[in-house]
């Protein structure tokens, strides 16, 4: 039996024309553990004590370590959701991002990212697929929202 890595997929790829407005894709939930905080601090170089010093956070009125906005936003990487896998090799690149940070995210919070297709703009040989992004916490609070756009082959 032969194996072809190019055919190893978690989801069947779809062409641009098969995506529909209003479709929702969800990424798995993730808990913001101390390990996530440490990894983000190491990758970003952000060493403000609000992200790693619990005594500092308590003096500032936070119940625990406060996640950096980008640490929250990276939970909305589409590669963790079925969407990117369904875009498959038609995905050319990430072209735009906007976001709002609406509520604090602390160590121990669990985040639930979702992506809803809001625009499909076909062009001559490519198209732009735009999604509304929402990230809720375990209490149902919307902690981050925004928009992302992706360039795809038609």
Residue 100's domain comprises 20-153
Phi-psi region at 83: left, alpha or beta (left = phi > 0; alpha = psi -120 to 50):
alpha
If you ran DSSP here, which 8-state letter would residue 66 be given?
B
Average pLDDT over residues 98-126: 98
Can you give the CATH number for the domain in which 137 is found? 3.10.129.10
Find out whether 115 and 28 touch, Cβ atoms under 8 Å: no
41 domain-assigned: yes
- How many angstroms separate the CA atoms of 95 and 147, rounded? 11
48 domain-assigned: yes
Total domains, the chain: 1
Looking at residue 1, what is its pLDDT?
81
Average pLDDT over residues 37-66: 95
6 domain-assigned: no
- How many angstroms separate the CA atoms of 89 and 111, rounded? 28
Helix then strand count (H, E) for the chain reads: 4, 6
- The tens digit of pLDDT for each residue in 56-91 reads 999 999 999 999 999 999 999 999 999 999 999 999
Looking at residue 8, what is its pLDDT?
86
Is the pLDDT confidence value at 7 over 90?
Answer: no
């Amino acid at each position: 039996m032969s194996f072809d890595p190019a055919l190893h997929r978690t989801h069947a790829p779809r062409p641009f024309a098969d995506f529909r407005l209003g479709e929702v894709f969800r990424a798995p939930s993730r808990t913001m553990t101390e390990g996530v905080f440490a990894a983000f601090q190491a990758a970003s170089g952000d060493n403000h004590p609000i992200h790693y010093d619990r005594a500092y956070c308590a003096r500032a009125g936070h119940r625990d370590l406060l996640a950096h906005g980008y640490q929250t936003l990276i939970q909305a990487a589409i590669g963790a959701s079925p969407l990117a896998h369904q875009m498959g090799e038609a995905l050319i690149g990430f072209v735009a991002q906007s976001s709002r940070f609406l509520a604090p995210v602390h160590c121990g919070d669990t985040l639930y990212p979702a992506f809803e297709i809001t625009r499909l703009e076909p062009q001559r040989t490519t198209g732009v697929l735009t999604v509304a992004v929402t990230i809720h916490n375990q209490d149902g609070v919307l902690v981050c929202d925004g928009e992302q756009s992706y360039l795809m082959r038609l």
